[in-house]
Amino acid sequence: VNANVVPTLAAISSVSVLAGESAGAQTVASDADDDSTALAYSLNNAPEGMQVSESGAITWVTQSGVHSGEYTADVVVTDSLGASASQQFKVVVDGAPVVESIDAIALKIGGKIKFTVAATDPEDGQLTYKALNNPDGFKGNARNGLNGKFIFATKNATAGDYKIDIEVGDVVGLKSVVPVLVTITANLAPTVESLDPVVVNAGESMQVQVVSDDVDDDNETLRYVLENAPEGMQVSGDGLIQWSVDNQAESAVHSVTVTVVDSSNAMGKQELVVTVDANKAPAVEPIEPIVVKVGDNVGFTVSATDSEGSKLTYKALNTPAGFKRKIRNGYNGVFLWYTTKASAGNYKIDIEVSDAGGLKTVVAAQITLEPKTAVTLHSAPAVVGPFAAEAEAVIDEDAKTITVATAGGMRFYRLLSGDDTKLKVTSIVVKDDQAVMSYKPAGE
C-alpha cells in the first residue's frame, strides 16, 4: 500500500487594484498520486465577497469608498483523501478618498453658502475638490475647491431645495462624491407695530419706542431710518425716537415715516404723527384798581395760568417814586409796597408774568394815593370862641383818638380836617388828668 501524497500549490502573486476594480488570480496545484481534477479549492480568512472556483480561479470585486489597503486570504487545495496545501493571496486596494458628510444648509435668498469639505486619502495622497453642478441662480466663487472650501452667492436664486454634488479625487483618479443639501427661503420683511400719535408742547421733549420684529433673522441686525422728520428728531440703533422741541417752535403737524430695514434690505414701515403746540403766553387776570391813603400799604396778588402747565415767574417792571417794595415781591405772584414817602397821585405799576419758555404777559396795576387827612383839635373857653389849636393834644390818626389834659376850667372842643372831611367825636373817656376822645368821619 502506498501512502497518500499531499497536493502541491504554487505561490500566488499579490495583486494591486484600484477601489472599485476586480482583483483575481489563477491558482496552480497538482496531485502526484491522483487526478488533479479531483482537487477541491477553498478560502480561509478571505474578505467578504472574495470567491474561488472549482478550477482554482480567485475573483473579488472591490468597492470604491469601502475597500482600501491590504487584504489577505488563505487559499487551500484539498485532495480526495483530505490532504491539503495552502498559500496566501494578498490584494492591495488603492482606496477612494473618505469624505465626511456635510450638514444641510438653510439660508435666505441673497445669503452666501459657505462650507468646507473634510476628506482623507487612505494612501495619504493629495486630494482635489470640485463641484459637479451649479444650481440655477447660484454663483460659485472663482476659488471654489481650494483646500476643500466652497462659496456660492444666491442673489439671483429662487426659494427652494437644492443639491450640490462635490467630487473629491485622489492622485490615481479615484473619486468620492458627497452631496450638499441646501434650502433657500424668501426673505420676510420686518414687522413694525403701529405708532400712536404724539402731542408735544414747544419747549418739551418726546420719545417713542419703535417695536419691530424680524421673524426670519436676528432683531439685532435691524436698522431704523426716519423720513420727513423735523430737525433734531433722531432714532437710536434700538429704535428709540427722541426729539426736544424748541421753545419758539410754531404749531405744526409732522408726519414722519419710520422705516425698519433688515440685513437683506427688506423694509417695514409705519407713520408717526407728531403734533406740536406752540407755546402760549401766560393768561393773566386784570388787577382791580387800588385806592388808598398816602402811607397805607399797596398790596395785591397776581392771578395767572399757563396753558402748558409750566412754572410762572412774576416781577414788577417799575417802582413809582416814594414807593418801597417788599424784598420778596413776586413770590407766588404776591406784591407789597410801602407808601410812607410817596405823594398823593395816580400811579401805574407794570407786572410781568413769564413762563418756562420765555413768553411774557404784562398786566398793569392802577393805584391812586389819596392825601392823608390832617386832623387838628381846637378849643375855646366858651361856645362862641375864640377857638385856638391845642398844641399839646396827642392825635393818633390810625386809632382815631385824641388825648388832651383836663387841667383848667371848662373847655369847648372842635375837630378840623385838612381836606374838609367832616369829623365827629364818638366818645370821651376821662382818666386821671387826661381825656381821650374817639372820632370818625361823619356819616360812617
Q: What is the pLDDT of residues 144-194, one digit of tens each?
A: 999 999 999 999 999 999 999 999 999 888 889 999 999 999 988 999 999
**Residue 1 domain flag:** no
Q: Of the candidates 48, 70, 94, which is a domain's last residue?
A: 94
pLDDT number for residue 75: 97
Number of domains in the chain: 5
**Residue 2 domain flag:** no
Q: Do 158 and 142 fall into the same domain?
A: yes
Could you tell me the CA-to-CA distances from 118 to 14, 19, 121 in Å, in that order? 32, 20, 11
Q: Do 102 and 173 fall into the same domain?
A: yes
**Residue 415 domain flag:** yes
pLDDT per residue as tens digits for the range 372-388: 767 788 878 888 878 88
pLDDT number for residue 95: 85
Q: Of the candidates 47, 76, 94, which is a domain's last residue?
A: 94
Instruction: For residues 199 and 400, give the distance between their C-alpha atoms in angstroms, rounded to a whole number.
Output: 62
**Residue 166 domain flag:** yes
Helices (H) and strands (E) in the chain, counts: 0, 43
Q: Of the candidates 59, 94, 129, which is a domain's last residue?
A: 94
Q: Do 153 and 223 fall into the same domain?
A: no
**Residue 118 domain flag:** yes
- Mean pLDDT, all residues of the chain: 91
Give the range of the structural domain holding residue 437, as residue numbers without chain letter: 375-441
pLDDT per residue as tens digits for the range 298-333: 999 999 999 878 899 999 999 999 999 998 999 999
DSSP 323-361: -EE-TTTTGGGEEEEE-TT--SEEEEEEEEEE-TTS-EE
Quote the distance between the C-alpha of residue 187 and its chain's center: 24
Q: Domain containing 178 — which CATH number?
A: 2.60.40.10
pLDDT number for residue 418: 63
Q: What is the pTM of this model?
A: 0.49
Confidence label for 61 from pLDDT (cuts 50, 70 and 90)? very high
Instruction: For residues 428 and 439, give the distance between their C-alpha atoms in angstroms, rounded to a whole number.
Output: 9
Q: Where are the alpha helices (DSSP H) in 137-216?
A: none
**Residue 25 domain flag:** yes
pLDDT number for residue 434: 84
pLDDT number for residue 263: 85
**Residue 3 domain flag:** no
Confidence label for 2 from pLDDT (cuts 50, 70 and 90)? confident
As a whole-number percent, the residues of the chain with pLDDT over 70 amount to 98
Instruction: For residues 335 and 342, give the distance between their C-alpha atoms in angstroms, rounded to a whole number.
Output: 17
Instruction: For residues 397 and 349, give the distance between their C-alpha atoms in angstroms, rounded to a whole number.
Output: 28
C-alpha cell at 295: 402811607
Find cell 496545484 and name the residue: 29
**Residue 150 domain flag:** yes
Q: Do 266 and 291 fall into the same domain?
A: no
CB 347 within 8 A of CB 322: no
Torsion sign, CA atoms 379, 380, 381, 383:
negative
Q: Do 84 and 117 fall into the same domain?
A: no
